[in-house]
């Protein structure tokens, strides 16, 4: 399938009530990678872990034509800036949105003199390649994740 140019999007700050939507998006996007990495998806454990770590002040709802299309979790106060996740519902993937959003985060980081850090599940090679195309490099690997970093000025 040919990739179309980036669709126009908006980011709106998340509120506590967005948690259910965020969990649904994250489950849709990451379920296969979690199973590949850990061998199973434990719904109760995943839900509990998600809501224990959900901090609306570091999250945004990605909106396309007025519809909730995904989420971005980013800690802009961290140094390096930490991207906790960018997740798009399937119907909004492969339209250049993820790359456009990440370039926005990277541009902001560069303007502030910071790098960007994130981690990718080992069972998610597509995400790893996506970040590599944007200039991220693997810096470390654990039993479950690859740590990646984008260095400003490179």
Distance from C-alpha of 6 to C-alpha of 99, rounded to nearest angstrom: 8
Least confident range from 40-44, 79-83, 96-100, 150-154: namely 150-154
- 59-64 and 10-13: which strand pairing? antiparallel
Give the integer Cα–Cα distance in Å for 66 and 113.
33
Q: What is the pLDDT of residue 8?
A: 86
How many Cα atoms occupy the beta-carbon half-sphere of 90 within 13 Å? 6
- Find the mean pLDDT for residues 130-146: 95
CATH for 10-150 is 3.40.630.30
Tens-place pLDDT, residues 77-86 = 989 999 999 9
Domain ranges of the chain: 10-150
pLDDT digits (tens, 9 = 90+) for 87-97: 999 999 888 89
Q: What is the pLDDT of residue 1?
A: 31
Residue 6 has pLDDT above 70, yes or no: no
Compute the mean pLDDT over every residue in the chain, rounded to the nearest whole number.
91
Structure tokens given for 143: 């039993």
Instruction: Kindly tell me if the per-residue pLDDT of 120 is higher than 90.
Output: yes
At 152 the pLDDT is 86
How confident is the model over 99-120, as a mean pLDDT? 95
Instruction: Give the Cα separation of 56 and 14 in Å (integer).
Output: 5
- pLDDT for 154 equals 62
């Amino acid at each position: 399938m040919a990739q179309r140019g980036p669709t126009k999007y908006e980011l709106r700050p998340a509120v506590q009530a967005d948690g259910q939507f965020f969990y649904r998006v994250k489950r849709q996007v990451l379920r296969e990678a979690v199973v590949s990495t850990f061998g199973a998806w434990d719904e109760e454990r995943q839900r509990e872990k998600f809501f224990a770590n959900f901090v609306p002040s570091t999250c945004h709802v990605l909106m396309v034509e007025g519809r909730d299309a995904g989420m971005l979790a980013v800690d802009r106060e961290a140094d390096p800036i930490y991207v906790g996740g960018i997740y798009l519902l399937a119907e909004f993937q492969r339209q250049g949105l993820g790359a456009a959003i990440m370039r926005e985060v990277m541009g902001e980081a560069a303007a502030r003199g910071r790098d960007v850090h994130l981690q990718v599940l080992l069972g998610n090679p597509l995400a790893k390649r996506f970040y590599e195309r944007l200039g991220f490099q693997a810096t470390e690997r654990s039993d479950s994740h690859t740590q990646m970093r984008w260095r400003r000025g490179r």
